[in-house]
Structure 1
């Protein structure tokens, strides 16, 4: 089933429709991961519940331990390289066979509803101008202490059926925990590797590149999922706080994020860290984030938009 020739680009440029039946589309599913083998193994196993399964799963990691026992799973390719979300995703894109139609990127702690891939394919097939689809997150553990795999599965179990009417809405950018791309629409595009570590706003930047090419980036209500928000393996508060300020402003300069949206991101995050630093949540280093915010603001005042500096803080 798999094409053994690996191309540096995911497909030829230019818009295209999916095969005559969306179910015939060849789908590659990518996970970039580090230090979460136990969770990843269970997330990958849950992919088997999809009504339309991917033809290839690529796990982009740093060490053998990151992939756990997945290397022996049929239809799954484990690749190793340098750490960093953007770097690892780019490494995976280089390994997508050139005859694939759709590329799906999920966080290593995202659980899909059984019809997630089917609904994405249906949406892409409905309009050749749609280049990127992001789904609807039923619950997002990133905003709290996080969910266990069992809790995530229980949440999904309450949504046995997807909404009967598909709602397609244009959006400023995909949510990086669950996004799918028409392969032809991202030929030659890469995640910005200056957005180091967790890659804060790397999804918005990638979506902005697609918008600048004229492709549609949409959110649909029928591709459901749960983002567990696992805290293990995340970057320090100081590093993330710096990225919260510098990365949106850097993207505004790149013109992959509107300036107003960038300023809104910065102001909301700084204000939240200031207020909550007096009584921080146990799972968030608010004071570390605020310290990183202040360093970022000082760099901005001095005209330094250097997102890669986060790795050195």
Structure 2
């Protein structure tokens, strides 16, 4: 099977170079890596790689950048793996992904288990990620080995290329694209299972550079959820609890916010979005005006 890795990136050129060097140690090397960025200033390549690296430049925004690279990968890949530029996979990650698809014809999307996620805290160092992967190595997971999901976590998700068809990431979910991964992969469920294989592991560093403002992000936390419910790609039973948890967290922590999260900005964005939704205005791209 031919396996292509796509890495969308923005403002993290040094991180991209380090990730490419790290991926050289995979037990199953990718057949190609495609970096998707707004322009060349966002990309730094190591002196040499044991796999071909292609560059795709186009409109800024996670959904748009994913689509630009997807157009290049479709038709010449059996498996398309998306990594965030701050995701650190275990050394056997791609080998296990290939085996998962080869042995399970009914699987459309496969993601690994994130053993530590810096997106939920101040972020992790590369050294902390490698230590977490060593700790997880050979450790049995308490739950089932395969877990079905509504959609996949975009920091690490792999698609069976032949099932993608005309499906693309929704570019109305602009900039950071909040929930664009769930929107896309939940639609893949009509073609096969969307699963997490818990023996496939990685760490999400959760770097804070390259993110959108707190107010923009807070607006997306509400409007994107409502938009996807109305679109019909994500069930309300998933989107609404997520939305309310985020609003509650922003409200509760706005008095004493974490230094690495703009809680007050997020809360302002939440409130503006609630007002717009009440007025019947459901426009994810409004954050471009904030």
TM-score by length of 1: 0.88
Aligned equivalent of 1:265, options 242, 253, 273: 242
Spell out, residue by residue over 1:241-268, the C-alpha distance to the aligned partner (whole angstroms, 9 max, x if none): 0000010111111111111212111111
Which runs of structure 2 are paired with 1:176-215 in the superposition (5 Å)?
176-211=154-189, 213-215=190-192
1:221 — aligned with what? Answer: 198
Spell out, residue by residue over 1:18-45, the C-alpha distance to the aligned partner (whole angstroms, 9 max, x if none): xxxxxxx100000000100111111121
Q: Displacement, 1:162?
A: 6.4
Q: Displacement, 1:118?
A: 1.6
The number of residue pairs the alignment matches comes to: 288
Q: Displacement, 1:99?
A: 3.1
Distance in 2, Cα, partners of 1:134 & 1:289: 28
Which runs of structure 2 are paired with 1:83-102 in the superposition (5 Å)?
83-96=60-73, 98-102=75-79
1:61 — aligned with what? Answer: 37
Distance in 1, Cα, partners of 2:3 & 2:275: 44
Q: 1:55 to 1:46 in 2, by over 3 A?
A: same
Q: Displacement, 1:140?
A: 0.4
RMSD: 1.7
1:4 — aligned with what? Answer: none
2:230 — aligned with what? Answer: 253
Asked if 2 retains the 8 angstrom alpha-carbon contact of 1:146 and 1:231, the reply is: yes
Asked if 2 retains the 8 angstrom alpha-carbon contact of 1:131 and 1:181, the reply is: yes
Asked if 1 retains the 8 angstrom alpha-carbon contact of 2:163 and 2:191, the reply is: no
Distance in 2, Cα, partners of 1:266 & 1:71: 44
Asked if 1 retains the 8 angstrom alpha-carbon contact of 2:218 and 2:269, the reply is: yes
Asked if 1 retains the 8 angstrom alpha-carbon contact of 2:114 and 2:201, the reply is: yes
Q: Displacement, 1:69?
A: 2.7
Asked if 2 retains the 8 angstrom alpha-carbon contact of 1:35 and 1:232, the reply is: yes
Q: Displacement, 1:192?
A: 0.1
Could you tell me which runs of 5 or more consecutive residues in structure 2 were left unpaired when the two chains were aligned: none
Aligned equivalent of 2:149, options 166, 171, 183: 171
TM-score by length of 2: 0.95
Q: Secondary structure at the match of 1:94?
A: helix
Instruction: Please tell me whether residue 299 in structure 1 is matched to residue 276 in structure 2.
Output: yes
Instruction: Please tell me whether residue 287 in structure 1 is matched to residue 264 in structure 2.
Output: yes
Aligned equivalent of 1:308, options 263, 285, 289: 285
Q: 1:180 to 1:293 in 2, by over 3 A?
A: same
Larger CA deviation: 257-266 vs 55-64: 257-266
Could you tell me which runs of 5 or more consecutive residues in structure 1 were left unpaired when the two chains were aligned: 1-24
Structure 1 stretches of 4+ moved >3 Å: 70-74, 160-166
